[in-house]
A and B are shown apart, each in its own frame.
Chain A
């Protein structure tokens, strides 16, 4: 690297980068966006293929035939569910026992930090019932899981019934090499969480549960089943799990292969695949599908029962039956066969699913974008922050290097208070972040006492209040720094230093986030990068304050809500959108408390304080 060791050429390079900094940044930003939108264009994506040999070459023959029986079982289950006013535990235990399974139950209880208004629950008490089909001559080392949630009302009866019918059919087969666990869980995700924590004997969310009596070794894969009608028109595959984790792509390939084989319409994000990629509609369709996946992944919640399995290194997906007004119908027998085929192939696995991708985006079920293709889109956005930081670094070093201005080098001597003044806004912003993270849940009782709101509203409104209050902070720090150091150029030096720190901090934050959850990292980068890269104190304050607020993390969430509603073809009015926004916040906090989703702490403890630091810069005098 002669370029760096030669001072004159280095000077040329840095000069070029500082002079052309803004144009390069703009080009990078546009290129990043264009690259991302190009990912949905079919010629740029790869066709999915089965990587796992154990699942590829051995086509199995499906013989499941008791779909009709499953449907009558669903009616019976429904009757017992109504009678028991919840999960008919005894009936389920008997039903599983009579099918030759080893049956166990697990009771659990959980007090939510505040009432969940979407699902109308606060104190949750429930029971999971699971039956284990022991594989003949297998030493209980490996298992597969099929789960069906026992939901309130009329929903999901068919799923539980199909699960029982499959258990009965599977029990009479001899080819099983792994134990199969049939799990019926109550209170959807909370039940799954309790069961998984019980199975792995961990307690990460403060759940109370009774220990499990029966186990079957390490779980290799899991399928979650959601069916609410006797016939369905299409099956939807749900992959997005907790914290944006995705199962191995081979699981999606497996589902797609069997849908093709059995002639079942299959969708992802509820969208059918289109073949006209070269038309504008075809491209828009693929882009919408991909955007939906990005939005769902970014929010970091588990979009089905499968999502919680992923933390335990268990590849899992949800299969959801959809009954819309298409003519093409699929009966329960075919769905049973599809599941039979999938489970048999998973049974053939010699190793855990590991051959295919874990990081991908799906513009359709048969096309995927791997991490190598989508990362440059993020990289182009992240490099802007680094370029700006480099620019600032060069400017910061320049006056000190210039021998002509002695006053600078003299005044820069007491650098220790200078660093401390940078530290002050950093610490204050982070304390605001901590308050935003801790106070909403802890102050709810006080809020409920003093204001006429429900607990959930109290939590959400406290969060918004603290968020807004954080914006008032910069004036305080500014006055504080004013008294300390008065000289104008020192102040400029300070804000440059602060901005440099903030830029690097944001770059590290977004980089780490994007590695784990690309979608979240990308969405944050799209909104945060332009304003953070361009912000200085010498701008029209009111205008830029407005722009900054409009591009702040909270507003990003609001936009995501509207875009999501638009994409699932259920557009909402502004007031409805606002209500949705409030419920999204409460759900985010609940997800963190109940399942350990990390999006809320990430936003509250890191992203928001980082944004506050830039807010500070804007009001720097």
Chain B
């Protein structure tokens, strides 16, 4: 360290107005109703600088990962949200997640309004991100990209409404594994060397019921006055551990059992490093060891929760954070819940059913439903019906962009009012297209994926939400800005669909070619011949003597012999 000290001082001297940056890390553990354990990591890097400012090239990076910073400035990205999930979040069993994500990969980006060629930037950006995260994001192209008009508003500063600068795409088929986790961990200031990231051992993280990792970048206010802009990078990782499988039925868990690691220190670069354990559901029956004197309250997703807080930056926390035992009671039913399936049978037509549940006992609220359906499912939009409580429910806003074959998908956005305590069903019929034989995937009989539809809503809250912007509130409750006290924002993803298209038997072409060639050669040729030829009865030629006699008669001018 001694030898490097002068260099550090020298660098500081060079950049006198070095932008302030800070790093926070946090782990929330919440026992779930179903007996599973939900662990949610959040890492936030804040940097008081602006990549998009004209004439200023940002080149000195400290906590903020340089690879992402360069991408942001090169492609003039205003906001970037990318998530990789393996598995489906079971809303009915697990409640709402802190940050929702659909199965597979999801990427949505707001570009700065100075960008002229948005599609070009988007294409290049996906390729670069695909390299950074070691994922198949390069399969995102115009055929699966949409520009939602209402569902995806910027979550950070700025009130952009022109959805020309928004791009949204999902890859429901994307499989998430360790090769995506490693680059994600490298973005953290401490890597996986110290702090909470030590717990991220892929062997355990991928031995779970649900795994989701995400990166969210957006500009936010530096302070309450919002005089200047800061960039926020949030890295989140959500895991649900299945206690039933791993615990042999015993509801007992510890950090070591979940991650096969224990915490030894906070990340030295972090300004705050905390572990929260949700003890709202039954504080008396919890037995946490070691016990903590610190209790925190947070209002998140319309519910006031109590947490035991362990501050890793304080030395006394590291007695033995080893084993928690707990019992549980029922949890709040999720107020908003959605699912989707394909109805019908056969390979010609089908019907997509999206069912949205409003479990609120007396409040109706509107939701935005966004559906992006690939072009090879040809939607019959005239069959679109929305019914709640077996009555027609006319959406107050519909934005529909029809698909173009092989160019772009269908985009359907609707604002639907959900009556209290109701089930709303949105159905639309479709016809399955017959693809060209080169357009089939290598495993066509597996089926084709249709990405999750997205339900976004401001759900009425049971408790007052905190609207004031404070730095000290936990990260998990501060991602989505709260505008009013009485409601909170929720996004619910439905399951993706696997749809079978009519598929030729690919081992048959050889036989088919042989057969058709034979039929064409033998059948068509001869029939064509028969149909076009004019038939004449061929008279046998007269004998030589008669021909000679006729010749003489013709010369003489006498009638010919027949």
Q: Tell me how far the C-beta of B442 lies from the nearest C-beta in chain A, rounded to whole angstroms.
A: 10
- Mark interface residues in A122-157 (1 if CB within 8 Å of B CB, else 0): 000000000000101111111000000000000000
Residue of B nearest to A353 (CB): B445
Are B533 and A217 closer than 8 Å at their CB atoms?
no
Chain B CB count within 10 A is highest, among A140, A215, A354, for A140
Q: Tell me how far the C-beta of A157 lies from the nearest C-beta in chain B, rounded to whole angstroms.
A: 25
Q: Tell me how far the C-beta of B263 lies from the nearest C-beta in chain A, rounded to whole angstroms.
A: 25
Are A202 and B344 closer than 8 Å at their CB atoms?
yes
Are B526 and A201 closer than 8 Å at their CB atoms?
no
Residue of B nearest to A217 (CB): B498
Q: Name the interface residues of B478-501: CB closer than 8 Å to any CB of A.
A: 495-500
Q: Tell me how far the C-beta of B405 lies from the nearest C-beta in chain A, rounded to whole angstroms.
A: 24
* With A141-B497, A201-B341, A352-B445 as contacts: A136 and B208 at CB distance below 8 Å: yes
Q: Tell me how far the C-beta of B457 lies from the nearest C-beta in chain A, rounded to whole angstroms.
A: 21
Interface-forming stretch among B84-92, B150-158, B321-329?
Answer: B84-92
* With A4-B526, A5-B533 as contacts: A141 and B341 at CB distance below 8 Å: no
Q: Counting CB contacts under 8 A, is B315 at the interface?
A: no
Q: Name the interface residues of A85-120: CB closer than 8 Å to any CB of B.
A: 100, 102
Q: Counting CB contacts under 8 A, is A312 at the interface?
A: yes
* A7 / chain B contacts, CB cutoff of 8 Å: 535
Q: How many A-B residue pairs have CB under 8 A?
A: 106
* With A139-B172, A218-B498, A313-B345 as contacts: A134 and B447 at CB distance below 8 Å: no
Residue of A nearest to B529 (CB): A5
Q: Tell me how far the C-beta of A76 lies from the nearest C-beta in chain B, rounded to whole angstroms.
A: 19
Number of residues on chain B facing chain A (CB within 8 A): 51
Q: Counting CB contacts under 8 A, is A351 at the interface?
A: yes
Q: Tell me how far the C-beta of A141 lies from the nearest C-beta in chain B, rounded to whole angstroms.
A: 4
Q: Counting CB contacts under 8 A, is B304 at the interface?
A: no
What's the Cα separation between A350 and B173 when bound, in Å? 13
Are B353 and A201 closer than 8 Å at their CB atoms?
yes
Q: Counting CB contacts under 8 A, is B66 at the interface?
A: no
Q: Name the interface residues of A1-51: CB closer than 8 Å to any CB of B.
A: 1, 4-5, 7
Are A142 and B498 closer than 8 Å at their CB atoms?
yes
Q: Tell me how far the C-beta of B48 lies from the nearest C-beta in chain A, rounded to whole angstroms.
A: 38
Partner among A137, A313, A354 whose Cβ is within 8 Å of the Cβ of B208:
A137
Q: Counting CB contacts under 8 A, is B342 at the interface?
A: yes
* A1 / chain B contacts, CB cutoff of 8 Å: 522, 525-527, 529-530
Interface-forming stretch among A169-177, A267-275, A517-525?
Answer: A169-177
Are B172 and A218 closer than 8 Å at their CB atoms?
no
Number of residues on chain A facing chain B (CB within 8 A): 31
* B90 / chain A contacts, CB cutoff of 8 Å: 102, 134
Q: Counting CB contacts under 8 A, is B201 at the interface?
A: no
Are A139 and B104 closer than 8 Å at their CB atoms?
yes
Q: Tell me how far the C-beta of B421 lies from the nearest C-beta in chain A, rounded to whole angstroms.
A: 15
What's the Cα separation between A100 and B244 when bound, in Å? 7
Partner among B244, B351, B497, B535 whose Cβ is within 8 Å of the Cβ of A172:
B244
Residue of B nearest to A351 (CB): B445
Q: Counting CB contacts under 8 A, is B446 at the interface?
A: yes
Partner among B351, B446, B526 whose Cβ is within 8 Å of the Cβ of A352:
B446
Are A200 and B242 closer than 8 Å at their CB atoms?
no
Are B343 and A200 closer than 8 Å at their CB atoms?
yes
Q: Counting CB contacts under 8 A, is A69 at the interface?
A: no
Q: Tell me how far the C-beta of A291 lies from the nearest C-beta in chain B, rounded to whole angstroms.
A: 30
Q: Counting CB contacts under 8 A, is B430 at the interface?
A: no
Partner among B339, B346, B503 whose Cβ is within 8 Å of the Cβ of A215:
B339
Q: Name the interface residues of B158-215: CB closer than 8 Å to any CB of A.
A: 172, 206-211
Q: Counting CB contacts under 8 A, is A311 at the interface?
A: yes
Are B209 and A134 closer than 8 Å at their CB atoms?
yes
Are B88 and A352 closer than 8 Å at their CB atoms?
no
- Mark interface residues in A572-592 (1 if CB within 8 Å of B CB, else 0): 000000000000000000000
14 contacts between A and B (CB under 8 A): A4-B530, A5-B529, A100-B244, A102-B93, A137-B208, A139-B88, A139-B103, A140-B496, A201-B341, A217-B495, A313-B347, A350-B443, A351-B443, A351-B445
Q: A137-B210, A141-B497 are in contact. List 9 more A-B contacts (CB 8 A).
A: A134-B209, A136-B87, A136-B207, A136-B208, A139-B495, A141-B496, A218-B497, A218-B500, A313-B346
Interchain residue pairs A-B with the least CB separation, the first 5 = A1-B526, A139-B103, A201-B343, A351-B445, A137-B87
